[in-house]
Chains A and B, each alone.
Chain A
Amino acid sequence: MNSLYNYAFFDEGSKREIRRAILKAVALPGYQVPFASREMPIARGWGTGGLQLTLSLVGRSDVLKVIDQGSDDSVNAVNIRKFVSGTTGVAVTEDAREATIIQSRHRIPESPLREGQVLVLQVPLPEPLRLIEPSEYKTKRLHAERDYSGAYLVLFEEIQRYGRVATGADHPVEVHGRYVMAPSPIPRFDNPKLDGNPALILLGAGREKKIYAVPPYTKVRSLDFEDQPFRVEDFGSAACGLCGASGVYLDELVDPSTGSKTWRCNDTSECASRRRASQEAADAS
């Protein structure tokens, strides 16, 4: 562990301040709590909001997993994992079941989370109403008055343009029947996992200096219309070409030489563990 730094990089005062913001966020599910976002040795926009949450929470017995675009191996995930373990010495893992803190961008792990786990989501744009209202003062008022017509208008306009709701990611949700929040750029596929999840879900936006939370077992509803109910991405009967799983979030790959299409699990660590398990089963028989 690098002794040039305090444990988990920040001084204790900074951590306490972030934890206070987290407590407030947990007390007001879905409400964006402002916090004094710190300068970090990684560029803003690369997960500094999530990283600050993780650093303020991580204890010596924690086990950390970091995901970026569904993968533990991307440069960004590796850098964040190295930074946290380097300043704390905590154990790291790729197995979502083993982890106590999971920091993620773009995905919620495929394997169900459990009580006691913390999922930290990195958020670039925390304000779900920003597209229709550029003024921060006005969006605050809209939240206070629970006026979410603008969020519905955006979905309505998507239906006009594309014939259906086409939010690729970050589809807005209503939390605990009160605040509407941006769930971070997770695919619609992951929205249902926010609802009633046993884990504590924390969302951090470094550049925009906001923290918000979905406490365990909170009701989370994706915004939709009576005659156009919310739907997750549908992969039909497609299955992962490596592990054979279907009903999971898949990426489409095109072989550049043949032009033929194949599917791959987006959650690479789940894919790998499925392949290990079937290999072991084959070896045993």
Chain B
Amino acid sequence: MRPERFLLKVDSLSKSYGEGCPRCSGPGATLDRNHCRRCGTVYAVRGVSFELYPGEVLGIVGESGSGKSTVLNCLYYDTVASSGSVYLGSYREGAEDALAVSAQAKRAIRNELLGKVYQDPVEGLRMKFSAVANVAEKMICAGSRNVGAMEERARRLLGLVNIPLGRMGEAPERFSGGMRQRVQIAKALSNNPPLIFLDEVTTGLDLSVQAKVLDLIMDIQRESGVGMLLVSHDLAVVRMLATRTMVMLDGRMVEQGLTDQILEDPQHPYTQELVHSLL
């Protein structure tokens, strides 16, 4: 065990869509991958547990539909988890289940202690509002009412993610995919949170653009020491950024460990397949 306190501790997190039936929820339950053929219930995340430490980048890999985004959505309160507990080192010293607090406390946690880059920028940004306003939104949500201070910080963050000064007043609907992701990163960092979530941050971008965005994330991580939970279906992305990695399959975590170890000596057959496809 490490001596320092975790940034994030997730305990048996589950999320299902549907009511379940005796076939899928009783003892000896049988599922078709992550769903029940009889009642149609989807078990998107099943009993996932892990910890993330200050300054660490933890990767989550897994194929499409394995439940990666759902984990992040539960942690960022975009969706309500079905069961499980979440502890944040920055909230009540990690002593209180952050899934069991009031709506107001959740709002404060989300605005002040977390940030998120969405898989689809349309979800994470207001496409018709200026980039500056997009970055300022989280500051407004956290209670700032000073336009000058918010503008200054938003511009500084947008500069940090290489949005040209002359385009900061423009709306993301006029930006390229790579620029949109960079605005999302600036927004996630706006309240200087100790932990941010990144969901497929480079998916859909050209290879050269991908490399630039990944470099940017590495730089930010090195300079700010922000903790990152990084989701990708691409093991190459995770290998570049994450010190530790967990592998998801059909809603379950099938393997977790140091990224190098997983790459060199994958244990689970699915991980072996994944690693071989990378080589």
Does A277 interact with chain B (Cβ within 8 Å)? no
Of A1-9, A56-64, A155-163, the one contacting chain B is A155-163
User: Is B107 a contact partner of A225 (Cβ separation < 8 A)?
Assistant: no
User: Is B145 a contact partner of A152 (Cβ separation < 8 A)?
Assistant: yes
Does A228 interact with chain B (Cβ within 8 Å)? yes
Does B104 interact with chain A (Cβ within 8 Å)? yes
Does B169 interact with chain A (Cβ within 8 Å)? yes
The majority secondary structure among interface residues of chain B is helix
Which of chain A's residues have a CB closer than 8 A to the CB of B126?
132, 153
Of B1-9, B15-23, B128-136, the one contacting chain A is B128-136
User: Is A145 a contact partner of B104 (Cβ separation < 8 A)?
Assistant: yes
Among A145, A157, A228, residue most surrounded by chain B Cβ atoms (within 10 Å):
A157
Which residue on B lies nearest to A155, using beta carbons? B147
B111-154 with Cβ < 8 A to chain A = 126, 129-130, 132-133, 136-137, 140-141, 145-151
Does A147 interact with chain B (Cβ within 8 Å)? yes
Does B103 interact with chain A (Cβ within 8 Å)? yes
CB distance from A105 to the nearest CB of B (A): 29
Which of chain B's residues have a CB closer than 8 A to the CB of A147?
107, 141
User: Is A159 a contact partner of B147 (Cβ separation < 8 A)?
Assistant: yes
User: Is A157 a contact partner of B107 (Cβ separation < 8 A)?
Assistant: no
CB distance from A91 to the nearest CB of B (A): 47
On whether A156 and B146 interact (CB within 8 A), knowing A132-B126, A145-B104, A149-B141, the answer reads no
Which residue on B lies nearest to A164, using beta carbons? B147
On whether A149 and B133 interact (CB within 8 A), knowing A132-B126, A227-B146, A228-B147, the answer reads no
User: Is A227 a contact partner of B129 (Cβ separation < 8 A)?
Assistant: no
Which of chain B's residues have a CB closer than 8 A to the CB of A228?
147
Interface string of A243-276 (1 = CB under 8 A from B): 0000000000000000000000000000000000
Which of chain B's residues have a CB closer than 8 A to the CB of A157?
129-130, 133
Which of chain A's residues have a CB closer than 8 A to the CB of B169?
160-161
On whether A225 and B145 interact (CB within 8 A), knowing A132-B126, A157-B133, A160-B132, the answer reads yes
Does A226 interact with chain B (Cβ within 8 Å)? yes
User: Is B133 a contact partner of A227 (Cβ separation < 8 A)?
Assistant: no
Bound complex: CA A225 to CA B140 (Å): 10
Interface string of B148-170 (1 = CB under 8 A from A): 11110000000000000000010
**Contact of A161 (CB < 8 Å), options: B130, B145, B146, B147:** B130
User: Is A226 a contact partner of B145 (Cβ separation < 8 A)?
Assistant: yes
**Contact of B129 (CB < 8 Å), options: A145, A149, A153, A225:** A153
Which residue on B lies nearest to A157, using beta carbons? B133
Which residue on B lies nearest to A165, using beta carbons? B147
User: Is A226 a contact partner of B150 (Cβ separation < 8 A)?
Assistant: no
Which of chain B's residues have a CB closer than 8 A to the CB of A159?
147
User: Is A149 a contact partner of B140 (Cβ separation < 8 A)?
Assistant: yes
CB distance from B112 to the nearest CB of A (A): 12
Bound complex: CA A11 to CA B149 (Å): 57
A127-166 with Cβ < 8 A to chain B = 132, 145, 147, 149, 152-153, 156-157, 159-161
Bound complex: CA A227 to CA B104 (Å): 27
CB distance from A144 to the nearest CB of B (A): 9
On whether A152 and B130 interact (CB within 8 A), knowing A145-B103, A225-B146, A226-B145, the answer reads no
On whether A160 and B140 interact (CB within 8 A), knowing A132-B126, A225-B146, the answer reads no
Q: A149-B140, A227-B147 are in contact. List 18 more A-B contacts (CB 8 A).
A: A145-B104, A149-B137, A149-B141, A152-B140, A152-B145, A156-B147, A156-B150, A157-B129, A157-B130, A159-B147, A160-B130, A160-B132, A160-B133, A161-B130, A225-B145, A225-B147, A226-B145, A227-B149
6 contacts between A and B (CB under 8 A): A153-B140, A160-B132, A160-B169, A225-B146, A225-B147, A226-B146
**Which residues of B approach A to under 8 Å, CB–CB?**
103-104, 107, 126, 129-130, 132-133, 136-137, 140-141, 145-151, 169
Pairs A-B, 9 closest by C-beta atoms: A149-B141, A157-B133, A160-B130, A149-B140, A225-B147, A226-B146, A152-B140, A226-B145, A225-B145
